[in-house]
Structure 1
Amino acid sequence: EINDTLEVPEIHHSKKIMISYSFGMVVTEFIGTVIIMVLFIYYETEIGLSSLLTGLGLAIFAIWDAFNDTIVGYISDRPYRFTKKWGRRFPWIIGAFIPMLICFLLIFNPPKVDPQENPWIIFMWLVITTCLFDTFESMAFMNFFSLFPDKFRSDSERLKVAGFGAYFGFFGILLGMLIPPMIIVFGRSETYFLMAILVVVICLVFWVISIPGVRDDKEVVECFLAKCEETESSSVFKDLSNVLKQKNLRTYMFVYFLFFVLMSTMGASFFYYVRYVLKADASLIVLIMGLYFLGVLVATPLWLIYVKKRRDKKQVMILGGVIMVITAILITFVPNFEFLLIIVFIHGMGLGGFSLMINPVFGDIIDESVIQTEKRREGLLGGLRFFVTNLARVVQALILAFVHELTGFKEGSDTQPASAIFGIQLHIGLIPAIFLLIGLLTFWKLYDITPNKLEQNKLKLKQLGF
């Protein structure tokens, strides 16, 4: 019999389980990076949909994603008949994965119609397939990320998993940036569908490997069900209102939103930059991204050593972010290709520090939220994080659409006027850098979970039975 004093037992996970879970990061980052980098340029330059309609379609997709994530997060936080047997997160993670991949393939196989005569057919295909894809993606990935703070509860395990996850996540991003240019040929839209097939196959392999790591711990599920019996149910709006009272959560979401504006805008810009500024084949992106992630790989273990010694996650996020801001600005005004490669390498080093801290800092914020609300709401909070991620995609789509419209970008053309080329240089560096700089200043000023406060929060969690 479970009583009011039931506490979650301290569960120690093997490295195999930690690594298995981290393999899921390959999939989430891989498929997300492909969407960010390829989708806008595919529909605008290969299919021939106008910049404004492409931007509008992707904005609708991102807005749907934002609200869908919050709702899915709230729904998945609740107990169901299958929860005791199959777990709290595992059924959602596994059940939504295959439908998500099918929808991903459909995105890159639009109807063969003239985009000038029938633009709304292409537009509706873009909106419907991306929204279907997102619905299943939210069910799978939002629960995957929500599992992290619930499964790995000690600071030492979270840092270990974050270390593994950083490498696997960066590998996923690397695949997302390298696979498309290895397959895609500018001017041949069918190569994008071949790319999508290869992405699906790779995702299936890594997802199977991640299955042992994404299973819920039975003891944690039992404690969750016991707490649900003790706690009155509430509406999604009431829960949102309660969690948004947390200053550190609002601050984190703000800087995470602006970080993702930078990542998605720069990521989507590289194909434009190589095609129109460098006037090179897509394969050149392989070299650029290779150096980018070499910087990530070189710097990540150094950042990990630093944070274990100083125990100051906030400081690492800010330092990594400052490096990203400075190098992004330099990319806009880079004088030659050789200098670009150096800047990209250093930018990757900054990304290594910032990204390494994303999940551990979020875990600390969730712990603080549990103390304040006496409820575990990983799904809702994870959905909120996905919400701001997709709000960033709206901003990214609008940046590209309006910059291209204002600078005279010619859809479907192999050459661009000087004004359009300068616009590309702006949205690959200076514009996203300004966004992240605002986020870093806010995070530096308002975020206050210090190492000492973190230790106090751990003690309070134990006292509350969480």
Structure 2
Amino acid sequence: MSDIQDKQNTELTFEHKRWVHASFGARDMFSQWHTAAFGAYTIFFYESVVGLPSQFAIAAFLIFSLWNAVNDPLMGYIMEKFTMPWQRKWGFRRFPWIVIGSILFIFSYLIIFLVPFGWFGTEALVVANKWKIFAWYVITLLIYDTTFTIFDINSQSLFPEKFAKQYERRVVTGWGTFLGILGLVLSFVLTGLIADQNFPESYRKAALLTFGGAFFFLILFLPGMYESKQLREKYKHSEGTKGQANEPFLKVAKDILTDRTMAMKILFYFGYQAAVALMNASALYIVTYILDDPENESFIFIMGGMLAGALISTPLWVRISQRVNNNKKMCIVTGLLMFATFLPMIFVSSLVGWIICIFLFGISLGGQWFINPPTMGDVLDSVAVKTGKREQSLYYGFQTFVIRFGEAFKAVVIALAHLTTGFQEGNPTLTDMTNAVDNINLVLFGIRIHTAIVPALLVLVCTLLFWKYYDLTPEKIKENRLKLDELGI
């Protein structure tokens, strides 16, 4: 009995200090500070403020997504295949790439909104310069995605190796969920105070705020990303022991994407990410056209509702998850809960109604956000048992490859909803839109399609498929952990 208790106590001890958990979790704050602003403002800025025609906007995002189809898995493959000089000499594998990628990423976001003011402002200017605007949009999106990938793949790949125990992974993820949602809401609220549909230059000021604030979050999360002496020694001795990374790229792609466990994990995460991306990109459309608030004042209250829901629920998700000790079951619960929170958004029209809806959405978002890293850790442990190697970048690269189709999915859904319901670009207020279209109610219903109807269906389908086909039970996970200890990986 005492042996079992000793084993349990060992499992519940932390290998890292609490401040390391919080610092590592601040990675999500840094990421969401940027990606929330990107999702909320980019499409709206180019379509409704600049006036770029919808077909050009969707073409830009499709090119962006095609680049994702190459960039993310290829970057993951390269990270595993080649050993950098700093790894050979000092043992650092991820940390230098995280520093390089994050700094470049900060600058890449800013240039998206530096499209010259002289290219737009009137319909005639937009018509004359639409190809220049389109080229600026595409090129800056590609730079943004490439730099984000360098940072994201390496920071995510560090997680399962740095935190090997289930209990510690959940605690770190709890911090990541709390701080990530805080970063998301701060991004919405602070930039929302600056961005104004009637003043294009305000979007540049908002981007400058995001740019400056990012360096503060960078200081918070880099200490948690620092690779310990034990990890550096391990990485030094791992050179020349590559597994799948020595295989041809297309074979690796086939092996990863046909692994059922990995495929179901990716599908589930895709559903959640694409649905949240749609919700994120729809926020300004809701505030502007459904709530008739061109000054974005209600934006703060809505995002405050989401923050309240997320902050209240995150400690509960951590405790429930530790008690249930079944990541698959937690995924299903959070997926079904998110589906349910989208349903009232199809009908609600008042500010109070939207605050309540977003509060409930914040609870489900906290759960989805929290459970993803531990579940991915389970999958990567399973893969390491099969292959005998730790090559996280390969799998995170292909997960990101699939998930990035969420950006294309978002752009396609919004564009189709707008094209089929009569939305007219270049009308940044409800009054302007009402005067420009034949049926304003149909236009508003189109906004509800990409805000709630499509996201709800997507989350439901992906959750049900995950429920049926994902096969990592708590027993299998425990067995994998024992095998990994035997293998020393």
TM-score, normalised by the number of residues in structure 1: 0.95
Matched, 1:449 2:472: yes
1:189 is matched with which residue?
200
CA–CA distance in 1 between the matches of 2:155 and 2:186?
20
- After superposition, the C-alpha distances for 1:24-68 in whole angstroms (9 at most, x for unaligned) are 211111111111111000000110101111111122113212321
Mapped contact 2:92–2:232 kept (Cα < 8 A): yes
Mapped contact 1:149–1:363 kept (Cα < 8 A): yes
1:11, CA displacement in angstroms? 8.7
- After superposition, the C-alpha distances for 1:361-381 in whole angstroms (9 at most, x for unaligned) are 001100001111222111111
Q: State the secondary structure of the residue aligned to 2:405.
A: helix
Q: Name which of 347, 367, 370 aligns with 1:333.
A: 347
1:259 is matched with which residue?
272
Mapped contact 1:48–1:116 kept (Cα < 8 A): no
- After superposition, the C-alpha distances for 1:233-278 in whole angstroms (9 at most, x for unaligned) are 3233233333334211100101111111100001100101110111
CA–CA distance in 2 between the matches of 1:156 and 1:371?
20
Q: Name which of 435, 439, 456 aligns with 1:433.
A: 456
Q: Name which of 316, 338, 357 aligns with 1:302.
A: 316
Mapped contact 1:318–1:354 kept (Cα < 8 A): no
- After superposition, the C-alpha distances for 1:203-252 in whole angstroms (9 at most, x for unaligned) are 11111122211112232233244344344632332333333342111001
User: Residue 231 and residue 347 in structure 1: after superposition, are their counterparts in 2 closer, same or farther (change >3 A)?
Assistant: closer
1:335, CA displacement in angstroms? 5.0
For 1:53-92, what aligned pairs fall within 5 Å after superposition? 53-77=56-80, 78-84=82-88, 85=90, 87-92=92-97
- After superposition, the C-alpha distances for 1:335-359 in whole angstroms (9 at most, x for unaligned) are 5332222222112111111111010
Q: Which moved further from structure 2: 234-243 or 162-171? A: 234-243
2:50 is matched with which residue?
47
In the alignment, structure 2 segments of 5+ residues that lack a partner are 1-12, 120-124, 434-439
CA–CA distance in 2 between the matches of 1:155 and 1:181?
38
1:117 is matched with which residue?
128
Q: Percent identity?
A: 30
For 1:72-221, what aligned pairs fall within 5 Å after superposition? 72-77=75-80, 78-84=82-88, 85=90, 87-111=92-116, 112-113=118-119, 114-221=125-232
CA–CA distance in 1 between the matches of 2:192 and 2:21?
31
Mapped contact 2:29–2:183 kept (Cα < 8 A): yes
2:367 is matched with which residue?
353
Instruction: Give, as a single letter, the amino acid of the residue that structure 1 aligns with 2:324.
Output: R
Mapped contact 2:91–2:236 kept (Cα < 8 A): no
Mapped contact 1:243–1:373 kept (Cα < 8 A): no
2:436 is matched with which residue?
none
CA–CA distance in 1 between the matches of 2:159 and 2:485?
18
- After superposition, the C-alpha distances for 1:80-131 in whole angstroms (9 at most, x for unaligned) are 2211316111111111222222221110010221212221110000000110
CA RMSD of aligned residues (A): 1.6
Instruction: Give, as a single letter, the amino acid of the residue that structure 2 aligns with 1:151.
Output: K
CA–CA distance in 2 between the matches of 1:235 and 1:375?
17
Matched, 1:242 2:247: no
CA–CA distance in 1 between the matches of 2:471 and 2:63?
35
1:309, CA displacement in angstroms? 0.8
Q: Name which of 34, 39, 62 aligns with 1:36.
A: 39
Runs of 4+ in 1 over 3 A off after TM superposition: none
Q: State the secondary structure of the residue aligned to 2:309.
A: helix
Q: Name which of 398, 402, 410 aligns with 2:416.
A: 402
User: Residue 458 and residue 398 in structure 1: after superposition, are their counterparts in 2 closer, same or farther (change >3 A)?
Assistant: same
User: Residue 101 and residue 86 in structure 1: after superposition, are their counterparts in 2 closer, same or farther (change >3 A)?
Assistant: farther
The alignment covers a number of residue pairs equal to 457
User: Residue 294 and residue 66 in structure 1: after superposition, are their counterparts in 2 closer, same or farther (change >3 A)?
Assistant: farther
In the alignment, structure 1 segments of 5+ residues that lack a partner are 1-9
Instruction: Give, as a single letter, the amino acid of the residue that structure 2 aligns with 1:89.
Output: R
1:163, CA displacement in angstroms? 0.9
For 1:343-422, what aligned pairs fall within 5 Å after superposition? 343-413=357-427, 414=429, 415-416=432-433, 417-422=440-445
